[in-house]
Amino acid sequence: MSERDEIAVVGAGLAGCLLACYLARRGYPVALYERRPDPRVGTPERGRSINLALADRGLDALRRIGLEEQVLADALPMRGRMIHPVVGEPQLQPYSASGDLAINSIGRGALNNTLLEAATKLPGVRVAFDHRLVGLDPATGEMTFETPQGTVTAHAQVVLGADGAGSAVRGQLLEHDLLTESADFLDYGYKELTIPPLGGDFALDPGALHIWPRGTSMMIALPNPDRSFTCTLFWPTHGTASFASLGSKAAIERYFAQHYPDVPPLAPTLVDDYQHNPIGLLGTVRCDPWQAGGRVGLLGDAAHAIVPFYGQGANCAFEDVVELDRCLDECADDWSAALPLFQQRRQDNAEAIAQMALTNFVEMRDKVASPVYQTRKKIEHA
């Protein structure tokens, strides 16, 4: 058994589970605290499946610890984007001239479960589910959790917040005046719909990321291994042509028939999905610094949540884990040096992708449909 002090990782999401794997490989005992019950045994939340486009940046982090193949077993390669106009046939825009380059469609739940499974198999990793962090003393590493059995406390030499965009760890640092934060929400939200298999097969080309660009809004669809597609509407939350504007079954049916005419015949549960699935928020979270006293650190969405339009939030969180591991190497596991170095190396990159993700929303919902854009892409690939 290792003689190192136990590290607390708050949040057994994508970043937290991968981080636990990397830390265990360095010889640290790891306590992974997660507010939810074990996701491997429950039913997923309705309308929150979230398919991710996992790209090479994220795969690199998995490859380094031998998890790439296992993860890709649940993924489907998408070699281009398929643009669905209101009138006419869908057009494929390949991601590369050769058609070889692909990003991979994977359900966030499947990816999370694989990483959680990998973490729990490593010696020294223990997971405490149903533990919601509600208090943290950044000076001592004393943590307070709400659990079904009541409030419990725990202590760690180093506490790492991988608890997502609404990070409680970040909230505690804010409460102790140890950081500043900003959260910029779009006037857009997202809602999921399902296109089930058709006659036992995919209803659309499973080798593409499907986009229905509609100027001020859009829908995308990513394939799943069970031959269904998860569609995500990115629409304004209020005003005309928004989530709020479609109040009745008839209005929903009329709107889709007019603006997404190829979808209703493929989506038998469209109205039910639309009426009952939740609307998710979309925003960019920035904070500074990402650490306090070399004892508490933030990574992944907890440090830098971004809008999903470049498909890079999880990829970026995985890159964080690799960089933190590298910083620990370079600082001989001196956390008070490694955590500031980690922020120095990652913060500009996180800001760059945050801005690119906002810009790409305009590209996806509008520019990809323009004839000028399509001609330019053909020239680039010629």
Which residues contact ligand FAD by CB under 6 A? Answer: 10-16, 33-36, 50, 52-53, 108, 132-133, 162-164, 168, 190, 232, 280, 300-302, 308, 311-315, 317
- Other C-beta atoms lying within 10 Å of the C-beta of residue 201: 8
- Toward ligand FAD, which CB reaches closer, 150 or 247? 150
Backbone angles phi, psi at 78, to 5 degrees: -120, 115
- Toward ligand FAD, which CB reaches closer, 163 or 202? 163
Q: How many CA atoms lie within 13 A of 51 on its CB side?
A: 28
* Contact by Cβ (8 Å): 159, 167: no
- Toward ligand FAD, which CB reaches closer, 35 or 295? 35
Beta carbon of residue 33, minimum distance to ligand FAD (angstroms, whole number) = 5
Measured in whole angstroms, how far is the alpha carbon of residue 148 from the centre of its chain?
27
Beta carbon of residue 122, minimum distance to ligand FAD (angstroms, whole number) = 18
Backbone angles phi, psi at 179, to 5 degrees: -155, 170
For residue 240, give both structure tokens. 């005309």
User: Among all residues, whose Cβ is closest to ligand FAD?
Assistant: 13
Beta carbon of residue 378, minimum distance to ligand FAD (angstroms, whole number) = 26
Backbone angles phi, psi at 278, to 5 degrees: -75, 165
- Toward ligand FAD, which CB reaches closer, 122 or 337? 122
Beta carbon of residue 290, minimum distance to ligand FAD (angstroms, whole number) = 13
Beta carbon of residue 234, minimum distance to ligand FAD (angstroms, whole number) = 8
Distance linking the first and last C-alpha atoms of the chain: 58
Beta carbon of residue 109, minimum distance to ligand FAD (angstroms, whole number) = 10
- Toward ligand FAD, which CB reaches closer, 14 or 263? 14
* Contact by Cβ (8 Å): 192, 279: no
Beta carbon of residue 317, minimum distance to ligand FAD (angstroms, whole number) = 4
Beta carbon of residue 341, minimum distance to ligand FAD (angstroms, whole number) = 20
The Cα–Cα gap between 244 and 236 comes to: 8
- Toward ligand FAD, which CB reaches closer, 192 or 198? 192
Beta carbon of residue 111, minimum distance to ligand FAD (angstroms, whole number) = 9
For residue 146, give both structure tokens. 């709400």
For residue 77, give both structure tokens. 């390669």
Beta carbon of residue 375, minimum distance to ligand FAD (angstroms, whole number) = 27
